[in-house]
Structure 1
Amino acid sequence: MSSSHIKKKIGVSGTGMIAHCFIRLIKQHYHDLEISRVLTRRPLNSFTDFPLSERLTNSIDHLIADADLIVECSGDVFHGTEVIERAFEAGLPVVTINAELQVTTGSYLAGKGFLTEAEGDQPGSLAALHEEALMMGFKPLVYGNMKGYLNHDPSVEDMRYWAKRQGISVDQTTSFTDGTKVQIEQAIVGNGLGATITKQGLEGLASTNLTESGNLLGMMAERLGQPFVDYLIPSGYPAGGVFLVCRHDDDQRAAIEYFKLGPGPYYTLVRPFHLCSLEVGKTVRRVLSGGDVLLNNSVTPTLGVGAIAKRAMRPGELIERGIGGFQFRGEALKLDQHPDHVPIGLLRKTALRRAVEPGQLITFDDVDILPSRALDIVMQQRAASAASALQKPSADHGRAALAVMGS
C-alpha cells in the first residue's frame, strides 16, 4: 500500500453518545481514517453494543501508542486533563468535545500542545461561523448561542424523566437545563475569540425575532466598545443554532440588503444547527491536513465559570458534582473581578467548609477540594495571574519614572 493510501489512526477517549456516533461516522464515511483505540474506564466486558468493541482499552498507553491524533470526548475534566497531557508528551494533537475541560484546565493545556475544540458543539460552530464571517469582510460584534429552555433549579424527578427520554445522562440533562452548559460554552468562545461579557451570568434575553434581537445586541456591543458573548431564549422560531451579529463596510450596505440581510447597520448571520459528533470529522481532517486551531480557551483567558449555590447548605455537606448537580449551577464571570472563585469544573466529591446561601458564588474558602492534577493546574494559573497583576503596576511605574527622567 502506498503512503498516500495509509489510513490516519484516530484514538478516542470516551464511550458516551458522542463517541458512539463519531466512531460510527468514521467507520462508515471517512475511508481515509481509522479508529485505532477507544479508551474507557469501564470494565471491557460491560459493553454489549459498542461499535468496534474490539478496539476498547483501559490503558492510556495503548490509546496513545497507536494513534496519529486523539479525540477527547469523555466529558470529564479530571480524566480528560490526564489524557491530553499524556497525548502531548507523545507529541500528538488533540481535538476535544469537552467544553467543561476547556474552561477549567484548557488554557494551561493550550500552552503545552496542539489543542482545539471541535466543530459541531456550539463553541466550535461559532468559531467556524466567525472564520466565514471574517472571510466575507464582516466585523463580529456579538457571538450568540440559542437556548431552547432554561430552569436554574430543576427537580431531580424532571431531570430523570428528560434524561431517559433523550437518551443522555441525568447530569448532562441538568447542566443543559440549569444553564451551566451555555455559560461554559460562551466563556470558551469569549476567551478564544477575544470577546467579553456584559455581566456575570450573561444577559440571556428572551427573543421572538432574531433580527430584532440581533440589532439590540449589536447596539449593546457598540456602546460597550468591544465584542461580547451571550445567548438568546427564542420563542416562535427554532432554537439550537448559533449566530453572529456583525457590521460591514458602509459602501457594501446596498449590496448586503439586496442579498436579503436587511438594511443594516447590524447583520445577523445564523447557523441554524449544530450536529455535534457528525461534524467532529471536519475538525479532525482540518488538523491532520496541517490546519490551525479552530478554537481553544486561549493561554490568556479573561473569563471563567464560577459555581452559584442553588440553595442554602450547611458546613460539611457533601458535593458529589458541580456541573450537572443539584447544589450548584455555573455562571460566566470575569476572572479579574473574582480571583478567588472556584471553577465549577473542580467541584467533584468534595465538602463544604462553611455554610452558603442561595445565589452565593463559591470561593476556595468555602470548600475542601481533593488533590488532583486539575486542581494543581488551576492553582498554578492563579499564581501566575496574581504575579502578573503585581508586576503590571510596577512596570507602569517604571515607565513613568523613565518619562520623568527623560523630560
Structure 2
Amino acid sequence: MNLHHLLAQRVAAEKPVRVVLIGAGKFGAMFLAQAPHTPGLEIAAIADLDPDRARAACLGVGWPDESIEATDFTDDALAAIARADAEIVVEATGNPAFGIVHARAAMACGKHVVMVNVEADALAGPLLAEEARRACVVYSLAYGDQPALTAELVDWARACGFRVVAAGKGTKYLPFYHTVTPATVWEHYGLTENEARDAGMNARMFNSFLDGTKSAIEMAAIANATGLDVPDAGLGFPPCGVDDLPHILRPRSAGGVLDRAGMVEVVSSLERDGRPVFRDLRWGVYVVLEAPNDYAAACFRQYGLKTDASGRYAAMYKPYHLIGLELNISVLSAALRGEPTGQPRGFLGDVAAIAKRPLRAGETLDGEGGYTVWGRLMPAEASLQAAALPIGLAHHARLLRDVAAGETVRWADVDLPAHDAASRTAIDARRCMERRFAGAHHGGTVVPAMV
C-alpha cells in the first residue's frame, strides 16, 4: 500500500519510471490516458505497427503536444525495447507469437515485462516466467485485467489463512455462443455491424469474448499463477449472481457445481434461457473461501458476508475492472518493489483449439475469435496427453485431415506456418515449455521435468 510513496521518492530523486509500450490499442490507450496524471511515470517510446495510430491514440486520451513531441513513436518494437533509458516493457499487442518475441527481447536487455498479452501468457507463460526469474527481472500479469485481479484476491484469501475453494470472473455466456462467428457476433451485443464499425470495435476480439475463448485463456492464466485446478471437462459457465457465489461455487460433495475444492470457474450473467442473472458479476472477479473453524464462520455472519446455508463458504468479489486505467499498479510494482502482480508458477491450465463446425482437410484455421475454432480450457496434463493444438498457434494453420465439429484439433492435424521468425519462435517456445513441464503431476501442478 505504498506504491505512491515509493514513486514520490523516485520523483524527488529525479529518476522517473520509464516505460516502453508495445501496442497502442484499447488497453494501451487506457494506460496512456493515466500517464500524464502520474508524476514519476514517463513513456519513453510507443511501438505500434502504425505509429500514426499511436499518436492519434495519445491525442485521443488528452496528451498535450509537448508530451507527444517528447515521445518516440516507432514501428520497430525491438529497437524500442533496446532503449537504454527505459526499465519496463508493456507488451499489449494481443499477438501471442510477437508477445513471446518481445518478452524475450526485454529480458535480454534486463527489463521487466508486464504481459498485457494474455494470449502469449496462455501459450508459453510458465516458460517465460521461468526465463525471467533466471534473468533476475520481473514477468507480470497486467493489473486491471481480470487474471491479475483474481490472482490478487486469491493471494489475499490465502495470506489471511483461508482455504480458496474457487476463483474466477464473470462473463456473458450461453452454450451456443461457442459457434458464433465474426459475421454474427454483433447481434448478441445488440449492435449493427455499422454501429460496431463506427465505434472502432473489432469483431474478432469481441467474438473471442463471446465464444468462450477469452474466458478460457484468462482462466488458464489464473490457474497457472495461483495453482488452482482446472475443471476436468472445461469451464461450465454456471449462471450465478454475487449473492449465490458461495452456494454454487462449492464442491459437488457440499451441494455445489465444482469437481472439487480449489478450482477456477467463470460464472455467466445470463440464465440458460437468456434471462439476466440477478446481481450478475459480468464485469468483475471473485474468490470463494472456506472458514477454517467455527469462529471464522461466525465472523462471516457477523460481518455480513454472503455465505452458503452452512455458513462455512463465503465469497469476496470486485464488481468491476478498469483494464488499462489500472495498469500502473503492475508497472510500479515491478519497478519499485521488484514484484509481479500475478505470475505463472506452474502449468496447470491450457487452451485447446476446438472445431466450431465440421472442418475439411486443406482448410486454414483462423485462430482466436474467428470462424473455424474456439478455445476450450483443459487441464494441462490432459492437453499434453491429447497432443492438443494450443489456440495461440491455430492461426494460419492448414488442416491435414477432416475435424468434426466439437472435436479437439491436434498438433498432428495441422501444418503450422513457420515462414517468419516470430512464428518459429512461438512454436519452438511452446514445444520447449511442453518438454519442460511434462513432468509429474503433484497436488494440482504440472511441475517442470527434471533436466
TM-score greater than 0.5 by the shorter chain: yes
- The equivalent of 1:101 in structure 2 is 120
Please name the residue that 2:352 is paired with. 306
What corresponds to 2:223 in structure 1? Answer: 190
Which moves more between the two structures, 121-130 or 175-184? Answer: 121-130
SS for the counterpart of 1:331 is strand
Q: Is 1:215 matched with 2:247? A: yes
Aligned-pair distance for 1:3?
6.4
User: In the alignment, is residue 378 of structure 1 matched against residue 430 of structure 2?
Assistant: yes
Match of 1:205 among 209, 231, 238: 238
Corresponding residue SS for 1:112? helix
Residue 401 of structure 1 is matched in structure 2 by none
- The residue number in structure 2 matching 1:111 is 130
Answer yes or no: is 1:67 the counterpart of 2:86: yes
CA RMSD of aligned residues (A): 2.3
Q: CA deviation at 1:282?
A: 1.1
**2:42 pairs with 1:34:** yes
- Check the 8 A contact 2:349/2:378 in 1, yes or no: yes
- 1:331 aligns with 376
Question: 2: CA distance between counterparts of 1:219 and 1:226?
Answer: 6
Q: Could you list the per-position Cα deviations for residues 225-276 of structure 1 after superposition, in whole angstroms to 9, with x for gaps in the alignment?
A: 5400001112122321011110123212222211101462100111101110
The alpha-carbon deviation at position 350 of structure 1 amounts to 2.0
**Structure 2 residue corresponding to 1:142, chosen from 159, 162, 166:** 166
**2 CA distance for matches of 1:383 and 1:272?**
39
Q: Deviations over 1:186-244 (max 9, x none)?
A: 1111111011122232111122x433342232233878554000011121223210111
Q: TM-score, normalised by structure 2?
A: 0.80
Letter in 2 for 1:56: F
**Is residue 90 of structure 1 aligned with residue 109 of structure 2?**
yes
Distance 1:22 1:338 in 2: 35
- Count matched residues: 384
SS of 2:21's equivalent in the other structure is strand
Give the residue type in structure 1 aligned to 2:119. Answer: E
Partner residue, 2:342: 295
CA contact (8 A) 1:141 1:221 kept: no
- Aligned partner of 1:360 among 404, 407, 412: 407
| Cα distance between partner residues in 2 of 1:330 and 1:176 | 11
Q: 1:157 to 1:237 in 2, by over 3 A?
A: same
Between stretches 223-232 and 321-330, larger displacement belongs to 223-232
**1: CA distance, partners of 2:130 / 2:207:** 31
The alpha carbon displacement at 1:291 in A equals 4.1
Distance in 2 between residues matched to 1:324 and 1:75, nearest whole Å: 12
1:241 to 284, 290, 294: 284
CA contact (8 A) 2:114 2:140 kept: yes
Q: 2:220, 2:141 → 1: CA distance?
A: 13
Opposite residue 81 of structure 2, the aligned amino acid is: L
> Unmatched 5+ residue regions in structure 1?
391-407
Determine the C-alpha separation between the residues in 2 that align with 1:357 and 1:36.
49
In the alignment, is the contact (CA less than 8 A) between 1:302 and 1:334 conserved in 2?
Answer: yes
Q: 1:366 to 1:274 in 2, by over 3 A?
A: same
Structure 1 residues 367 and 156, CA gap change in structure 2 (3 angstroms): same
Deviation, structure 1 residue 34: 0.1
Aligned mates of 2:343, 2:364 — CA distance in 1: 32
Equivalent residue, structure 1, for 2:4: none
Q: Which residue of 1 aligns with 2:184?
A: 158
SS of the aligned residue for 2:305 comes to coil
Matched-pair contact (CA < 8 Å) for 2:115–2:142: yes
Distance 2:178 2:166 in 1: 24
Which whole-Å CA distance do the structure 2 matches of 1:232 and 1:357 have between them? 28
Change (3 A) 1:48 1:84: closer
Question: What is the letter of the counterpart of residue 232 of structure 1?
Answer: V
Q: Distance in 1 between matches of 2:55 and 2:297?
A: 58
Asked whether the equivalents of residues 246 and 306 of structure 2 are also in contact (C-alpha less than 8 Å), the reply is no
Partner amino acid, structure 2, of 1:123: P
- How far, CA to CA, are the matches of 1:297 and 1:2 in structure 2? 32
Q: Aligned residue for 2:421?
A: none
- In structure 2, the residue corresponding to 1:268 is in which secondary structure? strand
Partner of 2:274: none
Q: Contact 1:11–1:64 (CA<8 Å) still a contact in 2?
A: no
Distance in structure 2 (CA, Å) of the matches to 1:308 and 1:98? 21
Partners of 1:62 and 1:303 in 2: how far apart? 32
The equivalent of 1:399 in structure 2 is: none
Map of 1:393 onto structure 2: none
| Aligned pair partner of 1:123 in 135, 144, 147 | 147
Deviations 1:304-353 (A, max 9, x none): 0000000011111122x311111000001122223211100011222111
Structure 2 unmatched ranges of 5 or more: 1-9, 59-67, 133-137, 187-192, 270-276, 419-423, 442-451
**TM-score, length of structure 1 as denominator length:** 0.88
Amino acid at match of 2:86: A
- Letter in structure 2 aligned against 1:219: P
Question: Cα offset for 1:362?
Answer: 0.5
Q: Is the 8 A contact 2:306 2:315 kept in 1?
A: no
Q: CA offsets, 1:99-140, max 9 Å, x none? A: 111010211111111211011111011012223323433321
Assess, with a 3 A threshold, how the Cα gap between structure 1 residues 221 and 13 changes in structure 2: closer, same or farther.
Answer: farther
Q: Find the aligned partners of 1:165 and 1:24 in 2 and give their Cα distance.
A: 21
SS in 1 for 2:93: coil
- Cα distance change on mapping 1:176 and 1:163 into 2, 3 Å: farther
Evaluate the alpha carbon distance shift between residue 262 and residue 380 of structure 1 in structure 2; reply closer, same or farther with a 3 A threshold: closer
Give the equivalent residue in structure 1 for 2:303: 259
Instruction: State the identity %.
Output: 25
